Structure 1
Amino acid sequence: NIEALFMRFERIKVPRDKVIIREGEEGDFYYVIESGRCTVSRQIGGSEMELAELKGGDAFGEEALVANARRNASVAMKTDGVLLRLAKADFIELLKEPLMHRISRQEAEAKATAGAIWLDVRYAAEYNADKLPGAINIPLNEIRNLFGSLDSKKEYIVCCQSGRRSSAAAFLLSQRGYKAYLLEGGLRSKAANSTASYGSGGNQE
């Protein structure tokens, strides 16, 4: 897979101020920065707010591809640079599927009983209205900044309402070496909403 992955990346030179991805657009590529710096921004309250700066070796664009959703932020070049980009179909084949570990409700319950932690990536208001016993809440849009708060020795069962946000979160966690499992179908599925024991693994030290 590694050899095929590198063969399918396209190397492109990009000038300063070039917008690489735009918030609200469909996702078509995954990017790795070979050289240069990028800024990540999002529309908040009618204003464009800078969220982060990316540098050589950083990657972006995966969330929309994994969740099959629109871009949730814009990325523009802060300097001239070189990017490696991978088309959506190649990304799904070579990166997404090998890293995704989907489990059923029954499998999730067994893991939780054995000590795995339920990680709910919905917004706080959604989580507080319908939380799982013992779950912790880190919204998807905050998870990149909070990797350090998670225990790399623990297993995490990642969930959201439909499975779309949790698929992106599970990918990001797996990409960084965490043991992350995606609850198939999300919390809205009939199986996930049945009465069940969620185990005691959610109490993280």
Structure 2
Amino acid sequence: MIQQLEDSRERAYEEELLRHRLIVNLSHDLRTPLTILRGHVTKLNKESMSLEGQNSLTEINHTITRVGDLMDDLLTYTLLTSGKHPFGPVSTDIGRLVRASVAAWYPVFEEKEIQLDVDLPADETFYWEADPTWMTRVLDNLFQNIIRHAAEGKYANIVVDLETEQIIVADRGPGMDNSSYERGAGIGLSTSNYMLKKMKLKADFTSNENGTRVAIGRA
């Protein structure tokens, strides 16, 4: 009986390793055809064509980018859950980290004509024992979801709340119950939640048809 349990655990472990290996290999293998497709789109963009044709090329280009992003998210999640993604928690100045992330994303929000409403105190802050790279990735995911799924709301509210020691990110998009949001944000949100849990943090989501609010704080 004990031997059977050990054999079962070993098979499960080997199957998990195989799944991870297949995902990593698939992510790498798909990059070449995506690169080729993007090259053809670039060539076609130089040709004379109708407005409808140009719109179709733009949509194809966006889809290629989206598939690439999904592959990145899937690969990151696979590496995380297999313990192969570097993790180095240190005492992290959260105010400074959020300000740096917002500054990096500001041109993207500006390009999409999204009004930024920020409250990021410069003179005071708080600290979490967190991996700065992982925290930046979590914020990148939240900001990216606003760009992808809530840009029509033309608004983003980003707050570092000193009193509650939380990071708050809100938008005026269609809400997470919207099917396109659910389909597009799944892997990225799973990755972010895994990272936050590892850092003893959590994300509380409030969402309806008027927008989504995410509050990140200690678990």
Q: TM-score, normalised by structure 2?
A: 0.26
Which has more strand, going by share of residues? 1
Higher Cα radius of gyration:
2
- Greater RCO (Cα-Cα under 8 Å, separation 6 or more): 1
Q: TM-score, normalised by structure 1?
A: 0.27
